Amino acid sequence: MSYGLLKGKKGIIFGALNEQSIAWKVAERCHEEGAEFILSNAPIAMRMGELNSLAEKTGSEVIGADATSIEDLEKLFDAAVAKFGKIDFILHSIGMSVNVRKGKHYTEMNYDWLEKGWDVSAVSFHKVMRVAWEKDCMNEWGSILALTYIAAQRTFPDYNDMSDNKAYLESIARTFGNYWGERKVRVNTVSQSPTPTTAGSGVKGFGGFLGYAEDMSPLGNATALDCANYCVTLFSDLTKKVTMQNLFHDGGFSSSGVTQKVISKYDTEN
C-alpha cells in the first residue's frame, strides 16, 4: 500500500547490491511512495550486483561512485543537482570489513585492513555529508540516514572490527547532525535487526545471531522490508524534528534483558 509519503522528493541511495540488500528494499519502497532518486554503489560492487534491474524497475539513474573518494562523490552530487536541483534524502547503506572477510580474529587485527574497513563503513558517511554540505545541495527538512547495528554498543563475537566501525558511524551522525541542524536537515542512524543480506551473512555464526535475536525480540526480527518502511517514514515530512538519534528498529531486542523464549531454553526445572 502506498501513502504518497515521498511524493515530489528526490534523493540518493547508496549501497543497493541485490534483492537481499536493505538499500534495494528502501529504493523499491521510496519509488512506491513517489520519490525519485539516483542509485549509487562502488564500481566493483556494481559489477557484482544487479543494480540495473532495480534502476529499470524504479525509473532511476545509476551513477557509480566510490564513497571513500571525494572526487567520485563530487561528481555524483553534481550529477544529482543537475538532474534534480537540491535533494531531500540520502541513504548510506555501506559496510565492509576485510578482517571479517578474511577471518582475522579481533585480537589479531590486521590494521591495514582495519583502516580500509573503517574508511568504507564509517568515514565514507562523513565524506558523503561533507560533499553534500559543501555543495549546499540538501533542501530544508531533508533527511540523511545511515544503517548501523547494536554491536556498536554491545559485544557480539565475530562481528569483529565492524563493531568499532558502527560506533564511529553513529558518532559521526551525532556530530555532523549538529551542524546540519543549522540548515534544517536531520541526520540519524537506524540500528536494524540482524538481516540476511550479502554483507550480514558473511559474519561467522550469523545464523546464531539471527536465531538469538529472534528469540530475544518480543516482536521478532525486523525484515529488510520492515526497515525500508521505517526509512520511508524517516525521509518523510512526518519526522521533521527527529535528528542526531540512533533509532533501534529491532522488534524490541535493544530493550530486552531476557525473554520467556530464551528462559525456556535454559530452564531445567520443567
Question: Which residue out of 106, 111, 149, 168 is catalytically annotated?
Answer: 149
Residue 135 has which C-alpha cell? Answer: 555543495
| Three-state SS at 21 | coil
Find, among 82, 186, 172, 92, the residue nearest to 139 by Cα.
186
* Residue 149 designated active-site: yes
Q: Tell whether residue 90 is among the known ligand binding residues.
A: no
| Three-state SS at 14 | strand
What distance in Å separates the CA atoms of residue 124 and residue 175, rounded to the nearest whole number? 15
What distance in Å separates the CA atoms of residue 145 and residue 254, rounded to the nearest whole number? 19
Q: Tell whether residue 38 is among the known ligand binding residues.
A: no
CB 177 within 8 A of CB 133: no
Question: Which residue out of 159, 212, 230, 266 is catalytically annotated?
Answer: 159
Q: Tell whether residue 97 is among the known ligand binding residues.
A: no
Query: In terms of C-beta distances under 8 Å and separation of at least 24 residues, what long-range contacts does 67-70 make, across chains too?
Result: 67/14, 67/40, 67/42, 67/92, 67/94, 67/120, 67/124, 67/127, 67/128, 68/119, 68/120, 68/123, 68/124, 68/127, 69/127, 70/127, 70/130, 70/131
* Residue 212 designated active-site: no
Q: Tell whether residue 181 is among the known ligand binding residues.
A: no
Q: Tell whether residue 21 is among the known ligand binding residues.
A: yes
143: left (phi over 0), alpha (psi -120 to 50) or beta: beta
Q: Is the dihedral of CA 168, 80, 135, 243 positive or negative?
A: negative
Binding site residues for NAD(+), as ranges?
Answer: 15, 21-22, 94, 166
Residue ranges for the known binding site are 15, 21-22, 94, 166
Q: Name the residues annotated as catalytic.
A: 149, 159
